Amino acid sequence: MKAVYERGGTQKNFYQSHEVEETNCLNCESNKKTRLHTEFGSIGIVKCNNCNLIYTSPRPLESEKNYHGDINLYEREYDYIFKNILTHHRDINYNQEISIIKKHKPLGKLLDVGTNAGRFLHLTIKSGYDGYGVEPSPSLSKLAIEKLNLKIENCTLSESSYENNSFDIITAIDVFEHINKPKEFLKDCSRLLKNKGNVIIKIPNGNYNLLKLRLAKLLNKETSKMDIFDSYEHVVHHTKETFKNFIENNNFKIEKIYAPLPINTPVWAKYLGQYYQYPSPWVLDWKKILFRKIFHFIGKFEVQFKTKIHFQPDLLYVLTKKSQL
C-alpha cells in the first residue's frame, strides 16, 4: 500500500487571482504579449510579441520560495536516499551531466547554484571536483549540510560571499527556469567565473512544452488542469533560439548544446505515492515514460543536426564568456 505523501514545498494545485502577478518579458522587458495557455487556475503562459520569449505571466507571487518548505517533510522525502537504502531517481541524469562537464573541464573548483538537498553537488565532489553550493531554501540547505556535509551557503547567488574570478565551473541544473531575475544571475556568473571558465545550464525546452500542449489538445484533454509547463515554479520557457538570443545579450556564448536524458520516475514513488514533490501527468505512467524516451531519441538528432528542437524535453548548454571565443 502506498504511503500518503505530504509535499515538502509550498506549491499549490490552484492559484487565485490575488496570488499571482503580471510580469513583463524577462528578456526585452516588453509588456506586449499573447496568451498561449492557462493552468493551475490563474497562471498564464504567454509569448512576448517583441522577442518571442515564452514566459509565465501572471505568475505566482514569490515563486522562487516554493522550496522554502518544511524540513521534516523534506527529510522524510529524502530519507531513503540519505540512508543509502535507495538511489536517487536522478542519479542517472546527474552522472550523465557530470560526464558532459568533464569533457569541458575535467577538474576544478565548481559552484552549484540551486543545490536543493545536495545530491548533484555530492556526486560532483565524488567525481573529483572541489565543490561548493548556494541554496536559498533554509530547509534544503540545512539538509544538504547536515546529511551530506557539503559546503553550501544558504542564500541566492548575488548574496553569496564567494570571491570574484574564483570558479572554473558554475552549474545551474534545472534551476535557471526558476529565476525571476535571470540577467542579474548571468552578471553574477560572469563575476564569479574564472577567465576560461564554463557555465553549465540545463533547462526545459519551451518547444517541447508547446508540443505537449498541442498533443493534449489533439487528445481532447482538459489542458487547464494539466501540469504542462510547471508554471507554478517555472517563470520562463526558453526555446534554443530565445535562449541563444538571451545569453548573447548578456555577455555569454553557447560553446556546445547537449540532449540530456529525460528525468526518470523516482525509485521511491512506490513508497511515497507521488512523483518527487508533486505529481506530473507527463512522467508517471509507463505510456508517458515511453513517449518521453521516443521523443528524446528524435531530439538527439535535432540537436546533432542543429535543427529547430521540438522533441527533446530538456537542453543542456555549455556557456563561456563572449570575450573568450
Render the burial of 208-227: b for 16+ CB within 10 Å, e for the rest: bbbbbbeebeeeeeebeebb
In this structure, of 37-41, 187-191, 267-271, the range with the lowest mean pLDDT score is 267-271
Angle at which helix 286-304 crosses helix 206-218, to 10 degrees, equals 130
Tell me the residue type at 147: K
Render the burial of 141-161: b for 16+ CB within 10 Å, e for the rest: bbbbbebbebebbbebbeebe
Asked whether the beta carbons of 196 and 105 are under 8 A apart, the reply is no
Render the burial of 275-285: b for 16+ CB within 10 Å, e for the rest: bbbbebebbee
Question: Per DSSP, what are the bridge partners of residue 46?
Answer: 35, 55
β-pairing verdict for 167-173 and 130-134? unpaired
User: Is residue 277's pLDDT more than 80?
Assistant: no
Cell numbers for 30, please give them. 516588453
User: Is residue 301's pLDDT more than 90?
Assistant: yes
Asked whether the beta carbons of 51 and 40 are under 8 A apart, the reply is no
Sign of CA dihedral 90, 192, 201, 255: negative
Kindly list the structural domains of the chain, giving each domain's residue range(s) and its CATH number in brackets, ordered by start. 17-324 (3.40.50.150)
Tell me the residue type at 152: I
Residue-wise pLDDT tens digits, 154-201: 999 999 999 999 999 999 999 999 999 999 999 999 999 999 999 999
Confidence of residue 261 (pLDDT cuts 50, 70, 90): very high
Asked whether the beta carbons of 117 and 178 are under 8 A apart, the reply is no
Which stretches of the chain are DSSP H helices? 71-82, 91-104, 119-126, 138-148, 182-192, 206-218, 240-248, 269-272, 286-304
Tell me the residue type at 35: R
Confidence of residue 279 (pLDDT cuts 50, 70, 90): very low
Residue 203 phi/psi, 5-degree rounding, is -140, 155
Q: What is the average per-residue pLDDT within 41-45?
A: 96
Residue-wise pLDDT tens digits, 59-102: 999 888 888 888 888 887 788 778 887 778 788 999 999 999 99
What pTM, to 2 d.p., does this model score? 0.92
